[in-house]
Amino acid sequence: MIYCLYIVPRLFFMRKGAWNMSEKRRDQRNRILRNGESQRKDGRYVFKYRDINGQPQFVYSWRLEPTDRLPAGKRDGPALRELEPKIIRDLEDKISPRGGDMTVIELVQKYLRTKTGVRASTRAGYKTVLNYLEKDSFSGIRIDRVKQSDAKVWLIDLQKGGKSYSSIHSIRGVLRPAFQMAVDDDLLRKNPFDFELASVIVDDSVTREAISRKDERIFLDFIRNDKHYSEYYDGMCILFKTGLRISEFAGLTLNDVDLRARVIHVDHQLQRTTQMEYIIEDPKTESGIRDIPMTDEVYDCFSRIIAGRPKPKIEPFVGGKTGFLFLDKNGKPKVALHWEKYFHYALEKYNRTYKVQLPKITPHVCRHTFCSNMEKSGMNPKTLQYLMGHSDISITMNTYTHIKFEDACDEVVRVCSEQLAAKNHIQRVRMQAIG
């Protein structure tokens, strides 16, 4: 009797378990399917779930387990049970399904709508990137489908297609923070553009280097003596001898140039947008607000510019500023583009005239050259940082100063000469003491 009482309950639970097992859904291979899993008549597996908004969602795969054989002629992809853990994890972390159904271009447009307080030049750069993305098929991809490998391959293809490193840098400079915004908004788990650009594509950008003192002198002598370009000599000379940013230089007014105190007051920049709108902006950084002392050479240049400045019937008025030093034929203030063209065409003329060619010279090269010359002359780095208007001295020392072999040779000779002079001086002092 005891034996029977023991057996019957066991049989009961076994039968109950067997009954439950028979009720569970199975696939065509008789494998038990988990909650949410099913298999269609064509053999395709389906996982049904509800997203964080309570909406039904479906994912599909031709394989249940990673070890399953892919049916002939079917496209490969992750097995259903490889997809499920990610879905569950996203649900637990409240990650929106399918990246909120947002495409790359829609994400970028949303991100740019948040960038309201940027400079006109920055806004113009954003517009350029947006215009390019609108024409590229990559922009139509849903953001949750963009893997890091996809982002890298796309950038590589851009360079292979002729895009410069600087252009790609600008494009990625918009996409990276845009995708980070999607991560912060719980649309994505990871940022596919979070990697070092230089590790993916070749940096083929041309470094704008300072020119030698000799080349600077040759170029300025050519400008001063040229029948056509001599009218730009004073402006070009000021750019070489002050290190002013071209936008700072273009924005100078009569009130900013104090000939009596021999000081240049810098507290703004002049820009012109792609819509031909003239605007006044603050300097690039707070450190950009500064007073620059004039050398005699710079003083003479400003004196001639002010004395020869045309007096328009109506002075242009931009952002509360008037009395701009340089006006075009229409009486409008000259901007960076004007001076860039003057340098370009003048350099072209020189290189057509003489066999020995000069390197590329732009207003920004003038700034590089000034900084390098001052550094090589032994100027205190903090003083140089102030004159350049840099917020960080590392920018001054690492970006704008350029040391070449000839410079190293000169420095070695100088140091050795100073050491020898010091040694001889000590010897003379000792001899005098003995005598």
| Whole-number pLDDT of residue 424 | 78
Q: Are residues 108 and 90 in the same domain?
A: no
Q: Are residues 386 and 262 in the same domain?
A: yes
The pairing of beta strand 278-281 with beta strand 290-293: unpaired
Q: Are residues 190 and 264 in the same domain?
A: no
Instruction: With respect to residue 44, please indicate whether it lies within any of the assigned structural domains.
Output: yes
Q: Are residues 369 and 235 in the same domain?
A: yes
Instruction: Say if CB 101 and CB 142 are below 8 A apart.
Output: yes
Residue 274 CA to residue 297 CA, distance in Å, equals 35
Q: Compute CA distances 197 → 162, 165, 166, 201, whole Å.
A: 17, 9, 11, 6
Among residues 164, 199, 234, which one ends one of the domains?
199
Q: Are residues 321 and 245 in the same domain?
A: yes
Is 284 catalytic? The answer is yes
* Per-residue tens of pLDDT for the chain, all 435 residues: 444 433 333 333 333 343 344 467 899 999 999 989 999 999 999 999 888 777 888 889 999 999 999 999 999 999 999 988 888 887 877 777 777 788 999 999 999 999 988 887 788 889 999 999 999 999 999 999 999 999 999 999 999 999 988 899 999 999 999 999 999 988 888 999 999 998 899 887 666 678 999 999 999 999 999 999 999 999 999 999 999 999 999 999 999 999 999 999 999 999 998 788 999 998 878 889 999 999 999 999 999 999 999 888 899 999 999 999 999 999 999 999 999 999 999 999 999 999 999 999 999 999 999 998 888 888 888 998 999 998 877 777 665 555 555 555 555 555 676 677 777 777 777 777 776
Instruction: With respect to residue 83, please indicate whether it lies within any of the assigned structural domains.
Output: yes
CATH, residue 131: 1.10.150.130
| Whole-number pLDDT of residue 433 | 75
Instruction: Say if CB 77 and CB 145 are below 8 A apart.
Output: no
Among residues 169, 199, 229, which one ends one of the domains?
199
Q: Are residues 131 and 83 in the same domain?
A: no
| Whole-number pLDDT of residue 415 | 60
For the chain, the domain total comes to: 3
CATH, residue 257: 1.10.443.10
Nearest 10 degrees: CA dihedral of 99, 100, 104, 107? Answer: -120
Q: Are residues 246 and 393 in the same domain?
A: yes
Q: How many CB atoms lie within 10 A of CB 61?
A: 22
| Whole-number pLDDT of residue 91 | 80
- Choice among 284, 290, 338, 349 that is catalytic: 284
Q: Give the structural domain span for 152.
A: 100-199
- Choice among 189, 364, 376, 402 that is catalytic: 364
Instruction: With respect to residue 147, please indicate whether it lies within any of the assigned structural domains.
Output: yes
The pairing of beta strand 317-318 with beta strand 321-322: antiparallel
263: three-class secondary structure by DSSP: strand
Instruction: With respect to residue 37, please indicate whether it lies within any of the assigned structural domains.
Output: yes
- Choice among 245, 268, 272, 334 that is catalytic: 245
Instruction: With respect to residue 297, please indicate whether it lies within any of the assigned structural domains.
Output: yes
* Residues ≥6 apart with Cβ < 8 Å to 292: 242, 244, 263, 264, 266, 387
| Whole-number pLDDT of residue 435 | 63
Residue with tokens 């065509």: 28
| Whole-number pLDDT of residue 138 | 95
| Whole-number pLDDT of residue 209 | 77
Q: Are residues 243 and 170 in the same domain?
A: no
Instruction: With respect to residue 236, please indicate whether it lies within any of the assigned structural domains.
Output: yes
CATH, residue 89: 3.30.160.60
Is pTM, for the whole model, over 0.75? no
| Whole-number pLDDT of residue 258 | 96
Q: Are residues 311 and 389 in the same domain?
A: yes
Q: Are residues 275 and 349 in the same domain?
A: yes
Instruction: With respect to residue 195, please indicate whether it lies within any of the assigned structural domains.
Output: yes
Is 44 catalytic? The answer is no
Is 349 catalytic? The answer is no
Q: Compute CA distances 367 → 59, 82, 87, 115, whole Å.
A: 58, 57, 55, 30
Instruction: With respect to residue 366, please indicate whether it lies within any of the assigned structural domains.
Output: yes
Q: Are residues 181 and 229 in the same domain?
A: no
Among residues 199, 222, 255, which one ends one of the domains?
199
Q: Are residues 347 and 219 in the same domain?
A: yes
| Whole-number pLDDT of residue 8 | 37
Is 364 catalytic? The answer is yes
